[in-house]
């Protein structure tokens, strides 16, 4: 099958397009003919080797973390999915590879494609949707009437998280550029801060939850906008010991992670705050819940651009610029 893959970790070297074997199907997996694949900054970070300590992949590696397509084969133990089903998914770590014509995914990580979305729209949702759900619902336990600060509201995760938080009934603050203020307000943001003109730390006070996706300076400021007892969920680091334990990291990686997160964990304790690093995981059950929200019109995909399969490298480069409004998708079939 045709695919885009890397032979070695590199920031500058593009993925190589070529022929690779169709994935071997395990008993609990389904083989999906890929119609569209979402592009995420995570693809770029894995390509550059940024995660090789915590995600030691065997090379060559086909990248891609979002898929929408049609099931063409099922394993002997598969019971929930059948051939011909239109599905979407975020494959589990170590089973990624959606920048290809086919990908094998555990049936427990798959959900029916929302009936009101195109394949391209559906492929834009799994990773960002599950990230927002696991951050706001699973980790932060966001409730109606609470205040949440979602950084980078016009990005892939931010644009989904704003809609989810408003559905829960929270007051939502976000940051974006002046060009995207109307976009995030239409998604439901109550307070919008132009990060080029204003400092969010001077505007926001006593927030219950922060969804952090920016740099270390924004992380420090975010701690100061939370009320005592509040929660900061970070998807951009630093990783914490709980995360290291969860992935079964070797002792030396656990030590590195403990040292990297020591400062923020100490400051969180001093302020009576909860700090957690989130590296989202595949979860078909949660994805089914998101499907219902999409089909009910509660959440809509925010799309920036759709690239052709041959333009997959260009799509990754575009995501790396940080200028995308919502999600970038590659159309494969």
- Output the six-digit token pair for 67: 């898929």
Res 19: pLDDT? 97
- CA distance to 10, 229, 279, per residue, from 215 (Å): 22, 23, 16
- CA distance to 54, 240, 286, per residue, from 255 (Å): 12, 10, 32
Using alpha carbons, select from 321, 326, 308 the residue that is nearest to residue 99: 308
Cα separation, 295 vs 121, in Å, equals 12
- Tell me which CATH homologous superfamily contains domain 2-124+301-331: Medium-chain alcohol dehydrogenases, catalytic domain (3.90.180.10)
In terms of CATH architecture, what is 128-277?
Answer: 3-Layer(aba) Sandwich (3.40)
Cα separation, 46 vs 324, in Å, equals 19
Res 54: pLDDT? 87
Rounded to 5°, the CA angle 175-328-163 comes to 45
Round the CA-based radius of gyration of the chain to a whole number and report it: 19
Phi, psi of 305 (to 5 degrees): -140, 150
- CA distance to 29, 88, 266, per residue, from 326 (Å): 30, 18, 34
Res 38: pLDDT? 98
When the pLDDT of each residue in the chain is averaged and rounded to a whole number, the result is 97
Cα separation, 291 vs 289, in Å, equals 5
Strands 61-62 and 102-106, how do they pair? unpaired
- Output the six-digit token pair for 324: 């995308």
Q: What is the pLDDT along the chain (333 residues), one digit of tens a residue?
A: 999 999 999 999 999 999 999 999 999 999 999 999 999 999 999 999 999 988 999 999 999 999 999 999 999 999 999 999 999 999 999 999 999 999 999 999 999 999 999 999 999 999 999 999 999 999 999 999 999 999 999 999 999 999 999 999 999 999 999 999 999 999 999 999 999 999 999 999 999 999 999 999 999 999 999 999 999 999 999 999 999 999 999 999 999 999 999 999 999 999 999 999 999 999 999 999 999 999 999 999 999 999 999 999 999 999 999 989 999 999 999
Sheet containing strand 16-19, strands side by side: 16-19, 2-6, 61-62
Res 250: pLDDT? 93
Domain boundaries, the chain: 2-124+301-331, 128-277
Cα separation, 198 vs 294, in Å, equals 33
Res 21: pLDDT? 97
Res 324: pLDDT? 93
| Whether 277 contacts 134, CB under 8 Å | no
For tokens 């995981």, the residue is 281
């Amino acid at each position: 099958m045709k695919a885009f893959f890397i032979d070695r970790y590199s920031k500058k070297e593009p993925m190589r397009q070529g022929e690779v074997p169709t994935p071997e199907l395990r008993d609990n997996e389904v083989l999906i003919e890929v119609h569209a694949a979402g592009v995420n900054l995570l693809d770029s970070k894995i390509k550059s080797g940024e995660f090789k300590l915590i995600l030691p992949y065997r090379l060559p590696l086909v990248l891609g973390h979002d898929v929408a397509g049609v099931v063409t084969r099922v394993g002997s133990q598969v019971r929930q999915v059948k051939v011909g089903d239109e599905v979407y998914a975020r494959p589990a770590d170590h089973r990624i590879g959606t920048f290809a014509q086919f990908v094998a995914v555990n049936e427990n990580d798959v959900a029916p494609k929302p009936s009101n979305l195109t394949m391209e729209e559906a492929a834009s949702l799994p990773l960002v949707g599950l990230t927002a759900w696991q951050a706001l619902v699973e980790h932060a336990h966001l409730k109606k009437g609470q205040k949440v600060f979602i950084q980078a509201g016009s990005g892939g995760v931010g644009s989904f998280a704003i809609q989810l938080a408003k559905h829960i009934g929270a007051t939502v603050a976000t940051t974006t550029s002046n060009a995207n203020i109307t976009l995030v307000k239409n998604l439901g943001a109550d307070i919008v801060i132009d990060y080029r003109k204003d400092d969010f730390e001077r505007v926001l006070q006593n927030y219950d939850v922060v969804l952090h996706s920016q740099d270390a300076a924004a992380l420090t400021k975010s701690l100061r906008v939370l009320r005592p007892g509040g929660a900061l969920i970070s998807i951009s680091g630093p990783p914490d010991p709980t995360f290291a334990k969860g992935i079964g990291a070797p002792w030396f990686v656990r030590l590195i992670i403990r040292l990297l997160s020591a400062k923020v964990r100490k400051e969180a304790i001093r302020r009576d705050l909860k700090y957690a690093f989130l590296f989202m995981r595949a979860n078909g059950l949660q994805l089914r819940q998101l499907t219902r929200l999409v089909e009910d019109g509660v959440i809509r995909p925010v799309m920036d651009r759709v690239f052709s399969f041959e333009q997959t490298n260009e799509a990754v480069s575009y995501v790396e610029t940080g200028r995308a409004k919502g999600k970038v998708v590659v159309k494969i079939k």
